[in-house]
Amino acid sequence: MEEVRLGLTRVFIWPGIHAEVAENIRVLAPSARQAFIFTDRKCIPIAKRVALSLLQEKFEVAGYAMYPGESRKNLRTALGVYNKMAKTGIDPGCAFVTVGGGVVTELGGFVASTYREGLRLFHIPTSFVAQVDVAIGGKTGLNLPGGKNLVATNFPPLAVFVDPSLLETLPRRDYQAGLAEVVKCGMVREADLLAFLEENAEGIEARTPLLLEEILFRCITIKAALEQENQGSGAGTIFNYGGTVKRALEAAGGYRKVHPGEAQAVGMEAEAWMAQKMGIASSGVARTQNRILRLLDLPTRVRGLSRDTLLESMAFDATIPGSRPRFALPESVGQTKPGVDVPPDILLEGLQSILLPGGRIRAVRPMAAVEETAETPQP
């Protein structure tokens, strides 16, 4: 078992841990007599194993299963959870346990942070993105019609239980979304991680649990270090690499037509192009990233969007301060510079570099992009 500390949060990484969490929860919340499980309907079989573990430790167990999907991450769903907890008689000492992907993790964290002045929160993330990113730290959030995560709190969990074996049956698209986050970790802080991905491409494709455990440990360690640095210096903002264009892609597609993981991969391509065009990135950074993304069968372009649509979506992104965003851009593989003001002409060219003409809105897999563009766009 691997363990990473992030402030008061303990992150445990171990294949099979989701079915044995109760003993750890009992140690971390010794006075808790109740446990409330928040999940979605796709994850009910996993949640049942978690519930059995909690019952064996003499917890009184109740729960709520939401309908899955980003569109359900709203105040109406949160109200349903609040009402269920009120009817069940959940007390302030309850252990609140989320079992699910990013939607469940963020929404559950919000509910736990706001019910009876805050419950003891534990995450069991079931998706790759949730394991490597969303569940790490204290990010919570609800969506409004105007955008994602516009209602949010900061509420770190007491513990996160990361189980690589849960990724074995994850849909391919969701699995690859996690790989995009892994590539981001390597690009912003650890070049050796990208080399590790290249060397173990077959094992990654096969979803070998011990290999995934190593990848998760390295990424979570990076995220924990950046979170710690962010408290004093703002260094954690480098983890926004690719995120500014990603959010614009998601918004331009109505939060339905471009998968978040695919948007992350394509967003990094655009921002690496900008870094090289501005002379921030050393030679070959964009090529190295493009090679890794193609190796992992991640998209590098998007079809069906216009540059103006992307720019408009970026302008209405509530997470961007001021009239123009500041970017975290790579200086080299494993080294990123935060707070970069990209000139308007380069911003427009960078957005154009990831767009393919025609068709419905969709991210384009690497081979299609290579066939139509010949090679990674160079400044």
pLDDT score recorded for residue 237: 84
What pLDDT is attached to residue 376? 39
Per-residue pLDDT tens digits for 5-56: 988 899 999 999 999 999 999 999 999 999 999 999 999 999 999 999 999 9
The pLDDT value given to residue 235: 54
Which pLDDT does position 316 carry in this prediction?
Answer: 47
- pTM score, two decimals? 0.89
The per-residue pLDDT for 236 is: 56
What domains are defined for the chain?
2-168 (3.40.50.1970), 172-373 (1.20.1090.10)
| Stretches in the chain below the pLDDT threshold 50 | 316-320, 368-379
Query: Can you give the chain as a three-state secondary structure string?
Result: CEEEEECCEEEEECCCHHHHCHHHHHHHCCCCCEEEEEEEHHHHHHHHHHHHHHHHCCCEEEEEEECCCHHHCCHHHHHHHHHHHHHHCCCCCCEEEEEECHHHHHHHHHHHHHHHHCCEEEEEECCHHHHHHHCCCCECCEEECCEEEEECCECCCCEEEECHHHHHHCCHHHHHHHHHHHHHHHHHCCHHHHHHHHHCHHHHHHCCHHHHHHHHHHHHHHHHHHHHHHCCCCHHHHHHCCHHHHHHHHHHCCCCCCCHHHHHHHHHHHHHHHHHHCCCCCCCHHHHHHHHHHHCCCCCEEECCCHHHHHHHHHCCCCCCCCCCEEEEEEECCEEEEEEECCHHHHHHHHHCCEECCCCCEEECHHHHHHHHCCCCCC
pLDDT at 39: 98
pLDDT of the residue at 323: 60
